[in-house]
Chains A and B, each alone.
Chain A
Amino acid sequence: MSISIDQGKCIGCRRCHDVCPGTLIKINENKKAFIKYPKDCWGCTSCIKECPVHAISFFLGEDIGGKGCKVHTEKVKGEKNDIVRWFFELNDGSVKTIDIDPKESNKY
């Protein structure tokens, strides 16, 4: 699994670069973030949670059953507090979402 960064959306804030536990994300001469070592990504999704403009998505490699689905998260207003919405953009163009309330624990 690895990530891809949409350079059109990237605003060069460097937050993804700062948090990557493998320091795998670098900044190019146009001040845009790019993943220099895509095979070394652990899939922790730290960068995705940091990105303020949803420019980063992640995917499963085909070698481990990936079929092109791209995933990112967005913070959205909930009834009481912000919730994290996960977007799954499937290969057939459909989008599925799952909401996680950070104030609620896992059931399992």
Chain B
Amino acid sequence: MKIERLKTDLLIIGGGTAGCYAAITAASNAAGKNAAGNKGAGVQDAVGLKILVVEKANIKRSGCLAAGVNALNAYITEGRTPRDYVEYAKKDADGIVREDLLYSISEKINEVTAHLERLGLVILKDKDGKYVTRGNRNIKINGENIKPILAAAVAKAPNVQVLNHVNIFDFSVHDNRIDGAFGFGIENDTFYAIEARAVIVATGGAAGLYRPNNPGFSRHKMWYPPFNTGAGYAMGIRHGAEMTTFEMRFIALRCKDTIAPTGTLAQGVGAKQVNALGEVYETKYGISTSERVYGTVAENLEGRGPCYLRTVGITPEQEESLLKAYLNMAPSQTIRWIENDTPSKANVEIEGTEPYIVGGHTASGYWVDTKRATTIEGLYAAGDVVGGAPQKYVTGALAEGEIAAKSAVEYIESLSALRQAQGPDISSVNLLKKNSEGEIAEHVAEIEKFLNNKNGADTAESLEEAMQAAMDTYAGGIKTGYRYSENQLAIARREIEKIEARVGDLHADDLQEVMYIYELKERLTVCKSVIAHLAARHETRWHSFAENTDYPEKDNERFRKYVNSRLENGQIKIILRELTAEGQRNYEHQH
């Protein structure tokens, strides 16, 4: 295969919501300095800062928003304050959040929304020109084309190059400092070794760890993009980055079968959650995100299922609007209604999905400081890969893209300043360290091994199914009503290790299939961290999200803490960290 070496200042891995916005921000930041003629110590390097976005699909329609989105769920509506938003997210996660991160997001979400509108996003307004709100934190939009809008803005940004259809599978890290990444073209038979002075990881969370609701033909009809494999988590974990809150899994309450959103029904037409007897049960179990799922599971276990959102009796106008709203974000639900009973005639059955690991709804991801610096020097993170800041959604991902971009540009400038002060040959600065030939050769050899392996009994698909079955049965999947015990987790760990040992013999026909093998490896790495985190939290703080049958109660004394982890000598080391202080606005890594 062809080997291509690329050099950039800022590498952004993943061109989804956060990655695109990071690129736009970094470009305008560097350009702004250029226009101001600011040539302070070292800053001239920021002029014409080169930015490279690498995306395994195409940024026009990649990531969580490929199908669109019909509301912005994180917005400070009139009369509300950023503080209200922080309190809401904190309460929903029962305290286990990073207030500094939530504040930094909530103070930016209205500004990024205004920017999106300027870029072309349609937002519903009343006759006075004010945004129409849905509940306390949401505004209504036509977000079908939100990704093409972001992609067009990236295309216009100066000094930004986009590499589509290139799959990054490893960071280049030396002495805990990142200096680039490795990847391959899915369709062009090319290996990429990319040198960078700073890197932003924005690869999203992880789907496909657990057996999905519909494991047959419709296995990918799921809540989260099935193409988000946890690549960013896995690359960080392997290089020793600290991670947080992987035990707080996200389980979405969705329309049965189509796995379409329920919020639009609940908040749009005020549909209540009812059991098969017609009883409203949502208030019985609480209304936090995890309690809504838990209540539905509990009603089923106790024989009062299935459960529904009560839509019967809505007006024809409401029904027409619902059919349209779903076309803009989850068209399968509209087909379902057109082929079967419409929502005014039949209540919409609901179910919990399989668990996912994300940082945008729940709080799993990189342990970062307020500037979104990870514990690997030069590596910044944004969006679903960042832990500690749940309920960030689309606008929060944009805000984090902006924060990470500004921090990364600042970091690049500080490197330049150091180089200028000390001269170019100071080895301690370690600028643009060459990706070593040995590492490139090793990676290329591994890829070629998969292409040359003989077809065996295992395939990436069969091992993925084995992994999902193990997680489903022994690590709290749908099968056990999301519950698990220490004994079960121990089995899950062994099963995942056994599957991992078989990956090396897999055969791939082409680089797309090589990507499937690397994605499987990424998921297995994430699974091991999830299992370790679930086993470490000896309490049940979030029903369903982390339902530990050995410890069915909440334990504030011992576990009002972050559960963090780091890979050390091949072993996952658990670190319990104290919560940041109430109202704390800034957090720095302790070195």
Contact = CB atoms under 8 A, between A and B. Distances in A.
Contacts of B141: 105-106
A18 B55 CA distance: 12
Interface in A64-89: 64-69, 71, 84, 86, 88
A91 to B, nearest CB: 8
Nearest to B165: A23
B221 A44 contact: no
Contacts of A23: 56-57, 165, 186-187, 512
B62 A61 contact: no
A100 B257 contact: no
A7 interface: no
B264 interface: yes
A60 B70 contact: no
B122 interface: yes
B371 interface: no
Contacts of A21: 57-58, 61-63, 66, 225, 227
B479 interface: no
B268 A104 contact: no
A44 B60 CA distance: 13
Nearest to A101: B142
A105 B140 contact: yes
B71 A106 contact: yes
Contact of A64 (B60, B71, B257, B331): B257
A98 B103 CA distance: 41
B324 A98 contact: yes
B214 A69 contact: no
A61 B221 contact: yes
Given A45-B67, A105-B123, A60 B325 contact: no
Contact of A41 (B63, B220, B339): B220
A1 interface: yes
A1 B66 CA distance: 15
B61 A102 contact: no
Interface in B100-137: 122-124, 132, 134
Contacts of A105: 122-124, 132, 140-142
B339 A69 contact: yes
Nearest to A20: B57
B436 interface: no
Nearest to B217: A61
Contacts of B340: 65, 67
A80 to B, nearest CB: 13
B71 A39 contact: no
A105 to B, nearest CB: 3
Contacts of A102: 122, 142, 144-145
Nearest to B322: A108
Counting contact residues on chain B (CB < 8 A from A), the size range is: 35 or more
B321 to A, nearest CB: 4
Given A39-B217, A41-B220, A65-B257, A106 B339 contact: no
Nearest to B260: A43
Contacts of A60: 218, 258, 332, 335-336, 339
A60 to B, nearest CB: 5
A108 B338 contact: no
Residue of A45, A62, A84 contacting most chain B CB atoms (<10 Å): A45
A13 B144 CA distance: 23
Contacts of B485: none
Contact of B61 (A19, A38, A86): A19
Contact of A1 (B145, B221, B267): B221
Contact of A106 (B164, B225, B325): B325
Interface string A49-70: 0000000001111111111110
Most chain B CB within a 10 A radius of its CB, from A41, A42, A103, A107: A107
Contact of B219 (A39, A88, A107): A39
A98 B324 CA distance: 7
A106 B71 CA distance: 8
Given A44-B61, A63-B217, A102-B142, A107 B321 contact: yes
Nearest to B258: A64
Nearest to B221: A1
Interface in B31-62: 56-58, 60-62
A66 B323 CA distance: 17
Contact of A40 (B63, B226, B324, B335): B226
B216 interface: yes
A64 B221 contact: yes
B161 interface: no
Interface in B209-266: 214, 216-222, 225-227, 257-258, 264
Given A22-B226, A106-B140, A108-B268, A46 B67 contact: yes
A106 B338 contact: no
A22 B219 CA distance: 14
Give the top 7 A-B pairs by smallest Cβ distance, nearest first: A108-B268, A105-B124, A64-B257, A44-B67, A46-B61, A107-B321, A44-B66
Interface of A: 1-2, 18-23, 38-46, 58-69, 71, 84, 86, 88, 90, 96, 98, 100, 102-108
Given A64-B336, A71-B331, 14 more contacts: A2-B217, A21-B61, A21-B63, A21-B225, A43-B67, A62-B217, A88-B335, A98-B327, A100-B144, A105-B142, A106-B324, A108-B70, A108-B268, A108-B269
23 contacts: A2-B217, A21-B62, A21-B66, A22-B220, A23-B57, A23-B187, A39-B217, A40-B226, A42-B220, A42-B221, A45-B67, A58-B331, A61-B217, A63-B218, A64-B332, A65-B339, A67-B340, A98-B323, A104-B124, A105-B123, A105-B140, A107-B268, A108-B134
Interface of B: 56-58, 60-63, 66-67, 70-71, 122-124, 132, 134, 140-142, 144-145, 164-165, 186-187, 214, 216-222, 225-227, 257-258, 264, 267-269, 321-325, 327-328, 331-332, 334-336, 338-340, 512
